[in-house]
Amino acid sequence: MRASLMLSPGPLALPARNAMSRGARKVAVIGAGNVGATCAFVLAQKNVGEIVMLDIYEGFAKGKALDMSQGGQVLNYDGKITGTKDYRDIAGADVVVVTSGFPRKPGMSREDLVGKNADIISEVGAGIREHAPESVIVMVTNPLDLMTYHMQRVTGFPPERVVGQAGILDSARMTHFIAEELGVSNEDVQAMVLGGHGDTMVPLPRYTTVSGIPITQLMDTETIDAICNRTASGGGEIVKLLEKGSAFYAPGSAAAIMAESILNDRKRSLPCSAYLNGQYGLDDIYIGVPVVLGKNGVEQIIELELEKFELNSLQESAEFYKEQLSGILGY
């Protein structure tokens, strides 16, 4: 006797996955290396919708997309994930995450990458402008603040639709170091880091808390200063340890958090590299500040009340990048 399987349309029917429950959405990740692939993998697990990974090495992008697709059954996510080298495949993307570029090597600063990565961003920006002209761009390529400014100029997009990932990563690093020092959960620590994504970043201990308690009440000044210094050189520490390549789990995950906030219009308040036009006394510069991220990109820039020395540090950080913009990129 031949066995048969009958599916009941009633209560025993399998529940549908919710990948596209909020309507068709699409995110493109430019660069299928470690950072881009991590970003795509995190986004896949959040069931954001269609994901396209683009890389100059098409097989690299296709292979990782296929691998991620097969992981969906294991981790209970769904949605179309594809790899390509053709910019036409990013058409209709709501968000484009840009990770393309040369990574740092031991002994290199982020600024050492300016010339090489500026050329790459010019090419990538042209592709986005032509094929995804309504998208919001999340930049990850280093040197972050300079490349975000460059991307905005290349595409001609409104500044609020080009935003850089840096402050989330820097704050996450500071959070980890604080949690490690105090022996508490990462989940209970909220750190705030402003300024450029580099040695001139500006950690703000006054705005950094553990379950609402400022760390200035939990640690002495010497310990806080050591954590701030380690945060500023956090990427370099990983580069030195890896010897080949740079950090990717935390940067890729941070970019995914930004993309998801935009795709789902979550209005999350996050520290990002945003274009300032008078805020904090700064003009015509991308630098790390708290923003509100929604479907339109940067929907609000939050101006914190800063002490004089904190504001001076932020402005000095911005001035460093101003000099880089004019001296190297010619802006």
Query: Using an 8 Å Cβ cutoff, are 14 and 82 in contact?
Result: no
Last residue of a domain, one of 164, 183, 201: 164
Is 227 among the domain residues?
yes
Per annotation, catalytic residue among 131, 150, 176, 197: 197
208 and 140, same structural domain?
no
In whole angstroms, give the CA distance from residue 239 to residue 107.
9
211 and 130, same structural domain?
no
Note the pTM of the prediction, 2 decimals.
0.91
Is 12 among the domain residues?
no
Is 17 among the domain residues?
no
186 and 105, same structural domain?
no
CA-angle at 266, arms to 261 and 269, nearest 5°:
80
Answer yes or no: is pLDDT of 303 > 50: yes
Q: Is 168 left (phi over 0), alpha (psi -120 to 50) or beta?
A: alpha
175 and 122, same structural domain?
no
What are the beta bridge partners of residue 300? Answer: 292
> What does the pLDDT read at residue 222?
97
Last residue of a domain, one of 112, 134, 164: 164
Is 325 among the domain residues?
yes
Q: Which residue has the higher pLDDT, 313 or 102?
A: 313
> What does the pLDDT read at residue 116?
83
Average predicted confidence (pLDDT) for the chain: 91
34 and 155, same structural domain?
yes
> What does the pLDDT read at residue 21?
41
Is 86 among the domain residues?
yes
316 and 286, same structural domain?
yes
For 2-60, what is each residue's pLDDT tens digit?
444 344 444 433 333 343 344 579 999 999 999 999 999 999 999 999 999 999 999 99
Pairing of strands 209-210, 189-190: antiparallel
243 and 118, same structural domain?
no
Rg of the chain over Cα atoms, rounded to whole angstroms, equals 21
In whole angstroms, give the CA distance from residue 172 to residue 104.
20
85 and 43, same structural domain?
yes
In whole angstroms, give the CA distance from residue 57 to residue 206.
46
| CATH code assigned at 207 | 3.90.110.10
Answer yes or no: is pLDDT of 191 > 50: yes
Q: Which domain holds residue 113?
A: 26-164
* Residue 315: its H or E element: helix 308-324
Of 25, 54, 24, whose CA–CA distance to 39 is shortest?
Answer: 54
φ and ψ at residue 305, rounded to 5 degrees: -80, 110
How many separate domains does the chain show? 2
206 and 159, same structural domain?
no
Last residue of a domain, one of 164, 183, 210: 164
Answer yes or no: is pLDDT of 144 > 50: yes
* Calculated CA dihedral for residues 256, 261, 264, 266, nearest 10 degrees: 160
Is 216 among the domain residues?
yes
CA-angle at 171, arms to 237 and 174, nearest 5°:
55
For tokens 């090419």, the residue is: 123
Pairing of strands 283-294, 268-277: antiparallel
Query: Using an 8 Å Cβ cutoff, are 81 and 43 in contact?
Result: no
Burial of 12 (0-12, 13-18, 19+ CB in 10 A): exposed
| CATH code assigned at 156 | 3.40.50.720
Whether 197 is catalytic = yes
249 and 159, same structural domain?
no
234 and 148, same structural domain?
no
Is 299 among the domain residues?
yes
What are 157's two structure tokens?
Answer: 């997009």
> What does the pLDDT read at residue 326?
82
Is 178 among the domain residues?
yes
Query: Using an 8 Å Cβ cutoff, are 294 and 284 in contact?
Result: no
Query: Using an 8 Å Cβ cutoff, are 82 and 65 in contact?
Result: yes
> At 72, is the pLDDT very low, low, confident or very high (cuts 50, 70, 90)?
very high
308 and 222, same structural domain?
yes
